[in-house]
A = this chain, B = another copy of it.
């Protein structure tokens, strides 16, 4: 694996400061984080004039930022694709102007695609919301919020049940956003899913990453999926195809263990904490993956899994066997 041009530690620490809020964010979905990441990349492109006079240094700074964002949220596929698209776009730039132009074009294209995807997914999911029914929604996903608010704005009346999504409680953010948009919300805790799901006509979740084995999303999604199957409630993952990753990246989410004190800040001696943020929902537990390309089933995903080139700086290093 090639090494990027050496980067001034001061520049590194400035970029790390920009990325830190992404690492600390436990309430936003993957698409929302990608939109914030675009702003960070734009700021690295715009503010590097003094520190990074040479085009190779600028490339090194953007590579450093891309890797940092992926490391900050290894489960979030759009952060990977955003960085990857950017690095591929600037790879052959030979002047500062060319680099700035190509960066901005790649970032704008990503943002436009993301927004267009959500609009299409909202159109498709409208038909999955039966009038007058109860819809279950899990965790926080800006795509799910957009779809539900869009359906409400188009005059469909329905209610939403959602749960907390411990430990970060981003389910409360979901409840607040939907209520602010005029949707009647019923809120309870995660272990009460079984009491409410049976009354729902469908369940929606977002997702952070999609690979051959299934979709990765906030921990609890697997429990939701198993309960949905038991109660015969169709569960849909709503997600643009920018969430697909190659198999080697799928288990990167397991690197995202959070501090135990977020679960219990005064645990007694002898009690070890486990604070994993994500779990895997196999495709056979989903009624469908609602994307901008339509509702996909397991048999449809193959073309999306390897439908992109990975920049050499973002390839995962193979395990070395000596």
Contact = CB atoms under 8 A, between A and B. Distances in A.
Interface of A: 161, 163-167, 172, 175-176, 179-180, 182-196, 219-220, 222-223, 226-227, 230, 263-264, 267-276, 279
Nearest to A226: B230
A267 B175 CA distance: 9
Given A166-B166, A166-B190, A195-B219, 10 more contacts: A172-B267, A183-B270, A185-B272, A187-B271, A187-B272, A188-B276, A191-B191, A195-B274, A223-B223, A226-B227
A231 B128 CA distance: 30
A222 B193 CA distance: 9
Contacts of A184: 270, 272
Q: Which residue, of A184, A191, A196, A268, has the highest number of chain B Cβ atoms within 10 A? A: A191
A170 to B, nearest CB: 12
A271 B180 CA distance: 9
B220 A175 contact: no
Nearest to A188: B274
A166 B179 contact: no
B227 A223 contact: yes
A179 B172 CA distance: 32
Contacts of A271: 175-176, 179, 185-187
- Residue of A163, A194, A219, A226 contacting most chain B CB atoms (<10 Å): A194
This protein's copies in its complex = 2
A190 B223 CA distance: 10
Contacts of A188: 263, 273-276
Nearest to A161: B274
A274 B194 CA distance: 12
Given A179-B268, A180-B268, A226-B226, A263 B189 contact: yes
Contacts of A179: 268-271
A195 B220 CA distance: 9
A186 to B, nearest CB: 5
A164 B167 CA distance: 10
22 contacts: A164-B263, A166-B189, A166-B191, A167-B189, A175-B267, A182-B270, A184-B270, A185-B270, A186-B271, A186-B272, A187-B263, A188-B263, A190-B191, A190-B220, A191-B220, A191-B223, A192-B276, A194-B220, A194-B279, A196-B274, A223-B227, A226-B226
A194 B226 contact: yes
A122 to B, nearest CB: 21
Contacts of A183: 270
A186 B273 CA distance: 6
A271 B171 CA distance: 12
A3 to B, nearest CB: 36
A267 to B, nearest CB: 7
A192 B161 CA distance: 20
